[in-house]
């Protein structure tokens, strides 16, 4: 049904090699989602309108702006609360949020001097946050959900922990720790050791 909406815009070139998504240690259904993400083809309201669907455009997270991928994930004050609660202690929020679009954001995700659990977590944080923001947005649009910051952050940390099992098939990245480390010692796990 939505096939006609998903045709590639032939003038658009992703900011990131789409293959990067397929090499990342995330679930297969999430790889498909990010494949659309890097081509900027998610069915956000602005993209639906651009394809001829007549509907009002409002971001359900803030109700104060039109919905586009750039707004929803990187500029919406509600989404920024989520990013802030996870990353503000690193002091590089402005750099991270300054991007030319979805693929560019993934491309410019900074490297930290980290190893083991910290490195594995850091690599999948952008994918996890964007995935959970999209799921949260969909719950509000389709299931009368509400946004609750603590719950969204909790879901992100639980998802991060679960997804570690994907890379964990190759290396024991959890280092015999439990998920509590993400709740009790987040700033110790997510830090730059320079």
Minimum CB distance to Zn ion smaller for 56 or for 91: 56
Q: Is 30 in the site for Zn ion (CB under 5 A)?
A: no
Q: Tokens 């490297």, residue?
A: 111
Q: Which two tokens stand for residue 151?
A: 């719950």
Minimum Å gap between C-beta 62 and Zn ion is 3
Minimum CB distance to Zn ion smaller for 62 or for 129: 62
Q: Is 62 in the site for Zn ion (CB under 5 A)?
A: yes
Using CB under 5 A as the binding rule, the residues of this chain from 73 to 102 that contact Zn ion are 76
Distance between CA atoms of residues 182 and 120, nearest Å:
13
Q: Is 38 in the site for Zn ion (CB under 5 A)?
A: no
Q: Reduce the DSSP state of residue 178 to 3 states and report it.
A: coil
Minimum Å gap between C-beta 25 and Zn ion is 29
Minimum CB distance to Zn ion smaller for 35 or for 75: 75
Quickly list H helices, the chain. 19-23, 28-38, 45-50, 69-70, 77-87, 93-97, 102-108, 116-143, 149-168, 180-184, 186-189
Residues forming contacts to Zn ion in the complex (CB under 5 A) are 59, 61-62, 65, 76
């Amino acid at each position: 049904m939505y096939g006609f909406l998903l045709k590639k815009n032939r003038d658009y070139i992703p900011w990131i090699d789409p293959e990067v998504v397929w090499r990342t240690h995330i679930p297969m259904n999430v790889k498909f989602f990010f494949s659309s993400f890097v081509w900027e083809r998610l069915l956000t309201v602005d993209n639906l309108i651009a394809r001829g669907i007549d509907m009002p455009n409002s971001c359900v997270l803030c109700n104060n702006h039109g919905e586009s991928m750039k707004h929803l994930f990187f500029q919406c004050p509600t989404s920024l609360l989520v990013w802030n609660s996870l990353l503000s202690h690193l002091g590089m929020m402005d750099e991270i949020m300054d991007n030319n679009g979805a693929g560019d954001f993934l491309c410019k995700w900074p490297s930290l001097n980290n190893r083991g659990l910290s490195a594995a977590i850091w690599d999948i944080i952008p994918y996890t946050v964007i995935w959970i923001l999209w799921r949260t947005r969909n719950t509000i649009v389709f299931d009368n959900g509400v946004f609750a910051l603590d719950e969204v952050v909790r879901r992100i940390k639980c998802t991060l922990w679960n997804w570690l099992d994907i890379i964990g098939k190759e290396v024991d990245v959890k280092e015999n720790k439990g998920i509590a480390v993400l709740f009790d010692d987040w700033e110790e796990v997510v830090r730059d050791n320079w």
